[in-house]
Structure 1
Amino acid sequence: MNKTVNLPAVILQEGREKALNRRHPWLFSNAIDKVLNTPNRGDTVEVLSSKGQWLARAAYSPSSQIRARIWTLDEAEAIDLDFFVRKLTRAWQLRQSLFSHTDTDGLRVVAAESDDLPGVTIDKYQDLLVVQLLSAGADAKRPLIVKALQQVFPEHSIYERSDVDVRKKEGLKPVTGWLHLPRECAEVLIKEHGMRLVVDVIQGHKTGFYLDQRASRAAVRRFAKDAEVLNCFSYTGTFAVAALAGGARHVTNVDMSELALATASRNAELNQLDLSQITNTKADVFKLLRQYQEQGKQFDLIILDPPKFAENKSQLNSACRGYKDINRVAMQLVKPGGLLFTFSCSGLMEEALFQKVVADAALDANRDCLFLERLQQDSDHPVASFFPEGYYLKGLICKIY
């Protein structure tokens, strides 16, 4: 038996090391045969094969179906401050190579498993970092992660937004608050392709903003000239700013949040746009689309960017029905020759399945649909080859006749 059995360890069932050999970072509970020396939640454990061979070092989570998340496949690599500094430095160097700071200063710095930091998400808004620690291991390593961030990003404020429901699966409670250099104001202005946009890291969705849609906003800007635009699930109206910057005649933002719609107006003002070209409507998108359908209202360009419809596999079929229904109604509201930008942020919704759902919606709507372009999360949200689950945002630009 390997010497590491004196430390907390998990021993895999026979033949269950195949996923690890493919470098997949998750070990599910049914892959584990024994747990040695009773690790606590978030403890670092050694992962051994059924024959006692050392395989990996991982974070242990007794409450989750994902019982262990891999930190390293290198037996010589300790999970210490240097480890996190190395991972953060590599991740930040990648983003610096992809984006110019003078053009874009809101970036995802760490995309969890895809950056070899399971359960860790870090977004950078100018000189403010927002951290989400969503797994037991990430939560346990909070002090080291914060110290590493202070080294890699000196003089940056750090705010934690670990208030996502997925933490419940790890047996963790929500955590929010300042971790370093607190500020009186939690708002920051970021630059994105010539636009100025407001981010509220305390009250905003996720870490305050949807950085993953940056490339999609640029695509809307390309197609929006002279268009009457309907921006569904508009949040803070960033698609509207992009559309108007691209020459749209008018944009209707639809969202249930008064705060988000108020921020949409602020974003328009920040970019010196004509507020008479924007209508902010507080409404349920599903009900409003049907109301527009009854009224015979139509638009040149519709953006559908709904929240996640499927949290787990058991919800996938109902999610498909939901996506099909909302896309069907939206297509009926697009003027012949107009465009539909439609998205799914449900990771379980594979690209081919999403395209099939949209195609079925076109059949039910009795409209011809041409897929012009595919859209996805921007390049600061990379997808590791060994972690296909990191590819979650799918989008289609559809020409509707």
Structure 2
Amino acid sequence: MEDLFKIHGIVNLKKGEGRTLKAGGMWVYDNEIASTMGEIVDGGLVEVHDFDGYFMGIGYINRRSKITVRMMSRRTREIDRAFIEQRVRACVDYRKHTVDMSSCRLIFGEADFLPGIVIDKFSDVLVVESLALGIDRFKPLIVELLKQVLKEEGMPIRGVYERSDAKVRLQEGMERFKGFIGEEFDTKVSIVENGVKYMVDVKDGQKTGFFLDQKYNRAAIRPMCKDAKVLDCFTHTGSFALNAGMAGAKSVLGVDASELGVAQATENAALNGLSDRVSFICEDVFELLPRLEKEGELFDVVILDPPAFTKSRNSIKNAVKGYREINLRAMKLVKNGGYLATCSCSHFMNPELFSKTIGEAAANVHKRLRQIEYKTQSPDHPILWSRDEESLYLKFYIFQVCDEL
């Protein structure tokens, strides 16, 4: 354990670099580093110094990664068990004051000052995603401390499952991994969110099993859905569709390209007694929307919750085309005076670009938009303000869609 907290050397920045770090960011990139000193061990802790020797904090290093250092602290010169425990307790305390903790994200990487690790709580189960070599070394301790703190708060955990199977681990020189941490348990977990029951598959579902970040956005669509005909695109396990059904929609059609997702969504509809009004089909949304338009279908509410169309700056142009296309198609399917809920979960699709793209789509189909809501991710996915706002990724709008006068 002592080696876990050992400082292995010093990383010296180039003159004029570290601007993101100085503006509140958590990362040091490879091209910002002038030199290293000491017996550097990838995954180990290092001090970060400015070009003039000024101490800028402690982070863990991985020279294989473009993000070479992820900062753990900007002030302390020592990381120990008490430091990690304080960070974990701060994560839980923050959620106690901001969200319903029955199911929520307990640790959100950089935004919780524990860079590279995500831990979700689904009822009495934790799901861990470790994305960086350095934090992987701290993972057992973080999980141990988190279970301890939750038990003290009257929320004992019966099992922990790891979903560290993202491709980004390969860039860190790590293998993709999924499996139990500790004893095995039933990985189908029952949760309740906004009064809706779900069966969450933490082993085989997307990401950690369920998208908790849209919790309050799902609730926000309810007022528009009473007695409405609703189309929910990219429905995943049916969360928006089920909220519409619970709000009293006349009919809801959920669409997703994943057969597993549609099967889970159908199961969730039955779980809530909504099978008579909420149904799901497995189709490609980009192919379905033009066909529905050709068939003359119109809906009171259309919901777009697509996956990230880009995970890098290099593919942003194609992503813009994709977002413009689905929003354009969706607006054509909304009755005059009906409603469109649309979002983007891509960090690289910044709020300004997303808004511009939606506006262009509306202009192309001669629709006027009246904004009802603009929201981001739920508070258990906090947004850490910095120059790049690395933790801001979800943008969510609700519009009334009107024909041009």
Q: Secondary structure at the match of 2:346?
A: coil
**Equivalent residue, structure 2, for 1:32:** 33
Rounded to whole Å, the distance in 2 between the matches of 1:293 and 1:173 is 45
Query: How far off its partner does 1:225 sit?
Result: 0.6
Deviations along 1:261-286, whole A, 9 cap, x unmatched? 1211221122222x121221111110
Given that 2:200 and 2:210 are in contact with CA atoms closer than 8 Å, whether structure 1 keeps it comes out as yes
- Rounded Cα–Cα distance in structure 1 between residues aligned with 2:76 and 2:400: 53
Secondary structure of the residue aligned to 1:203 is coil
Corresponding position of 2:42:
41
The code of the aligned residue for 2:283 comes to A
Taking the aligned partners of 2:393 and 2:14, their CA distance within structure 1 comes to 30
Q: Aligned partners of 1:149, 1:175: CA distance in 2, in Å?
A: 21
Matches of residues 230-269 of structure 1 in structure 2 within 5 Å? Answer: 230-269=231-270
For residue 120 of structure 2, the aligned residue among 120, 123, 127 is: 123
Q: CA deviation at 1:344?
A: 0.3
Cross-structure match for 1:361:
361
Match of 2:199 in 1: 198
Partner of 2:93: 93
CA-based RMSD of the aligned residues comes to 1.5
Deviations 1:168-197 (A, max 9, x none): 2222221111113321x1011112122211
Structure 2 residue runs without a partner (length 5+): 1-6
- Aligned residue type for 1:328: L
Q: Deviations over 1:320-368 (max 9, x none)?
A: 1110011111111111111110110001111121111001001111222
Q: CA deviation at 1:7?
A: 3.6
3-state DSSP of counterpart to 1:306? coil
What secondary structure does 1:129 align onto? strand
Moved more, 246-255 or 31-40: 31-40
Deviates more, 1:162-171 or 1:111-120: 162-171
2:297 maps to 1:282: no
Partners of 1:98 and 1:55 lie apart in 2 by: 31
The DSSP-based 3-state class of the residue aligned with 1:324 is helix
Name the residue aligned to 1:398: 399
Q: Which residue matches 1:318?
A: 318
Deviates most, 239-248 or 29-38: 29-38
Match of 1:138 in 2: 135
Q: 2:19 and 2:396 mapped to 1: Cα distance?
A: 32
Q: Provide the secondary structure at the position in 2 that maps to 1:381.
A: coil
Mapped partners of 2:171, 2:331: distance in 1? 37
Provide the C-alpha distance between the structure 2 equivalents of 1:222 and 1:199, rounded to a whole number of angstroms.
Answer: 26
Corresponding residue of 2:24: 23
Runs of at least 4 residues off by over 3 Å:
none
Change (3 A) 1:327 1:66: same
Structure-2 separation of matches of 1:246 and 1:127:
27
1:148 aligns with 145
Match of 2:167 among 165, 170, 184: 165
Q: For 1:203 and 1:14, how far apart are their aligned partners in 2?
A: 47
> In 1, Cα distance between the equivalents of 2:220 and 2:144?
38
SS of equivalent residue, structure 2 residue 363: helix
Cα 1:70–1:294, aligned 2, differ >3 Å: closer, same or farther?
Answer: same
Deviation at 1:153, TM superposition (A): 3.0
Quote the sequence identity (%).
37
Work out whether residues 266 and 279 of structure 2, in 8 Å CA contact, stay in contact via their aligned partners in 1.
no
Letter of the structure 2 residue corresponding to residue 388 of structure 1: E
Aligned length: 390
Structure 1 residues 288 and 212 mapped into 2: Cα distance closer, same or farther (>3 Å)? same
Who is 2:3 aligned against?
A: none
Distance across 1 between alignment mates of 2:276 and 2:147: 45
d(CA) in 1 for partners of 2:114, 2:25: 13
Aligned mates of 1:7, 1:225 — CA distance in 2: 60
Aligned-pair CA distance for 1:38: 4.5
What SS does structure 1 have at the residue aligned with 2:221? helix
* Partner Cα separation in structure 1 for residue 63 and residue 391 of structure 2: 23
Amino acid across the alignment from 2:385:
S
* DSSP 3-state at the match of 1:8: strand
Deviations 1:102-140 (A, max 9, x none): xxx110101111100111111011111111111121122
Letter in 1 for 2:284: D
- 1:352 corresponds in structure 2 to 352
Match of 2:294 in 1: 294
TM-score normalised by length of structure 1: 0.93
Q: Distance in 1 between matches of 2:198 and 2:213?
A: 14
Tell me which residue corresponds to 1:3: none
5+ residue gaps, structure 1, are 1-5
If the length of structure 2 is used for normalisation, what is the TM-score? Answer: 0.93
Q: How far did residue 53 of structure 1 move?
A: 2.7
